[in-house]
Structure 1
Amino acid sequence: MIEKIGKITLYVKDQKEAKDFWLDKLGFELKFEQPMGPNLSWIEVGPSDDNTTLVLYSKSAMEQQDPSVVAHPSVIFSTTDLEAAYEKMKANGVKVEEMQKMPYGSMFIFFDQDGNNYLLREDA
């Protein structure tokens, strides 16, 4: 059966900008990169200690292939130190919303270079 999340595709306006955002501002590592044509690459990034990757795929290329699949992904990231992650993102110029402390856990929403939002929650 399914044992883990392997890859999550994010459809981005500019692959270089997206790659820079995830590597430089969030500290992810480049896991794989391969050209797919003159102006298109397959780019995978992810946290250093995780095998799950984000595929940064060209939104315009996918819209030409199959416009129906270019929907915003729902991605929830996890951390064991939410406060430190929040402060680091703010220091790196990442747009973040206020921290939410709920009975079931703490979390906050952050935005990438294209305005897509993601949730970061704290794992116990």
Structure 2
Amino acid sequence: MISKVGQIMLYVNNQDQSRDFWTEKLGFHVVSEETSGDMRWIEVAPAKGETSIVLHNKEFVAKMNPGMNLGTPSLMFFTEHLDQLHGDLTNKNVKVGEIVVMPAGRVFNFADDEENYFAVMEKK
């Protein structure tokens, strides 16, 4: 049986720029940066997170697995400080959406530097 989500693969055009986005703008830390032959991957995670995001080079993965779906996964992050995070991301020039009240809680979306959209919800 599956006990938790361990890693999420995110296929990006520029791994260094993406790493910098996640670490500098969202406060994630680099868990590891690995290279094996021509393949390189960067694992980032929130400070207290159990699940990490692995940044893979989209072009390289497409060559290795031509039929693979390289689309952006639909990710929902949780925070206890939604207003503060929304303000912080806005101040760091991250493209953010308006805070919306949903049945499950307040939420907003944001985009990385490659226009991949993600969402964050307030969980108290």
Query: Counterpart amino acid of 1:60?
Result: E
Structure 2 residue 37 is the aligned partner of structure 1 residue 18:
no
Query: Counterpart amino acid of 2:5?
Result: I
Distance 1:57 1:104 in 2: 32
Give the deviation of 1:74 after TM superposition.
1.1
- The answer for the alignment partner of 2:63 in structure 1 is 64
Query: Counterpart amino acid of 1:55?
Result: V
Please tell me the root mean square deviation across aligned C-alpha atoms, in Å. 1.2
Structure 2 residue 66 is the aligned partner of structure 1 residue 82:
no
Distance 2:83 2:15 in 1: 29
Map residues 1-124 of structure 1 onto 2, 5 A cutoff.
1-38=1-38, 40-67=39-66, 68-124=68-124
Q: Deviations over 1:27-83 (max 9, x none)?
A: 100011111235x42210010111210000000011111232212211111111111
Residue-pair matches, total:
123
**Runs of at least 5 residues in structure 2 that lack an aligned partner in the other structure:** none
Query: Counterpart amino acid of 2:75?
Result: V
Query: Counterpart amino acid of 1:113?
Result: D
Query: Counterpart amino acid of 2:50?
Result: N
Query: Counterpart amino acid of 2:33?
Result: E
Structure 2 SS opposite 1:113: coil
Structure 2 SS opposite 1:23: helix
Percent identity of paired positions between Structure 1 and Structure 2: 37
**Runs of at least 5 residues in structure 1 that lack an aligned partner in the other structure:** none
Give the deviation of 1:104 after TM superposition.
2.4
| Deviating 4+ runs (over 4 angstroms) | none
Query: Counterpart amino acid of 2:49?
Result: D
Distance 2:102 2:71 in 1: 28
